Copies of this chain bind each other. A is one copy, B any other.
Amino acid sequence: MSILLALAAAQAAAAAAKPLTPSEIVAKAPAAAWREVAPDDLMVIDYQGGGRTIVELAPAFAPVHVANIRALAGSGYWNGASIYRVQDNYVTQWGVNEGGPPVPAAVVKKPPAEYDRPLKGLAPRPLGYPDAYARGVGHAMGWPVAWNPATSRANLTHCYGMVGVGRDMAPDTGMGGELYTVIGHAPRHLDRNIALVGRVVEGMEQMSALPRGTEALGIYKTGTVARMIASVRLASAMPAAERPRFQVMETGSATFAAYVKARANRRDAFFNVPSGGVDLCNAPVPVRRTPALSSSSR
């Protein structure tokens, strides 16, 4: 063996011995480990005065609610709406609180309570660590999910950045005109009590860093709002050149399995003691802007 080959072999062995960090695993993920988000599943919220938040919708989990949201966005329902609730360590909520423009005819006013769905068809990857709320937790189709083997039902979970449909005290679900995102520790007690419809994929800080509302539940005082919304559009309704494009890591991939393992056993230079475990909401599914050269395979 030449000196150069021996050196290369030694370097490879050293690299193999040092486990990759979660960030390194994501950076090195092969193209096949990513799925492109369909333009109909991307909701683009632009604020008056600048700033943007982008949400990925989850039609596989709440199809009627997501269809409502697409119809509302398509009609310009939220253009001129506001963020009117910011409750610390809980949620930021936006939309049309009272009154507002006419609701398009396509919107189902009383959608079914899409708080869970059949486990069948999801084939989730189990997280592999215990959970306080559900018998089964893991990831399916790029989403954090919980399930009950006894009932064969599964649900999205209230992790940081997940988006749900605001509703009143009555168990009837909301039609989708008011939405919220989680800005604190995962309020998993809301799981199966409310319809989750997606997650923020970019611009989370536009919602999490707002002054907290001073009234009960973080509601802003009457006549004030946290910020005004200029427009809400689906990416599919935007000119092709302006459409944002995102990819979500395939949670069934070997890359994602390695990522979760690395999150549970941090070996970054900073860490002295790996946990040996990670909870569902502390292993967020990697999301990225679609690289310029990537093919839009979906």
Asked if A279 meets B188 with Cβ closer than 8 Å, knowing A132-B129, A269-B169, A272-B171, the reply is yes
C-alpha gap A130/B184 in the complex (Å): 21
Closest to A274 in B: B189
Whether B133 pairs with A279 at a CB distance below 8 angstroms is: yes
User: Please, which residues of chain B bring their CB within 8 A of the CB of A205?
Assistant: 88, 211-212
Q: Does A177 contact B (CB under 8 A)?
A: no
CB distance from A272 to the nearest CB of B (A): 5
User: Please, which residues of chain B bring their CB within 8 A of the CB of A208?
Assistant: 88-89, 184, 212
Q: Does A178 contact B (CB under 8 A)?
A: no
User: Please, which residues of chain B bring their CB within 8 A of the CB of A149?
Assistant: none
Whether A277 pairs with B212 at a CB distance below 8 angstroms is: no
Q: Does A165 contact B (CB under 8 A)?
A: no
Closest to A86 in B: B209
Whether B184 pairs with A160 at a CB distance below 8 angstroms is: yes
User: Please, which residues of chain B bring their CB within 8 A of the CB of A278?
Assistant: 132-133, 188-189
User: Please, which residues of chain B bring their CB within 8 A of the CB of A133?
Assistant: 275-279
Q: Which of A133, A187, A264, A280 has the most CB of B within 10 A?
A: A133
Whether A193 pairs with B271 at a CB distance below 8 angstroms is: yes
Q: Does A281 contact B (CB under 8 A)?
A: yes
Whether B209 pairs with A266 at a CB distance below 8 angstroms is: no
C-alpha gap A127/B132 in the complex (Å): 10
Whether A189 pairs with B89 at a CB distance below 8 angstroms is: no
C-alpha gap A92/B291 in the complex (Å): 31
C-alpha gap A280/B277 in the complex (Å): 15
CB distance from A197 to the nearest CB of B (A): 18
Task: In the A-B complex, list the 9 residue pairs whose CB atoms are closest, starting with the nearest.
Answer: A130-B130, A129-B132, A132-B277, A132-B279, A205-B212, A160-B185, A192-B273, A133-B275, A133-B277
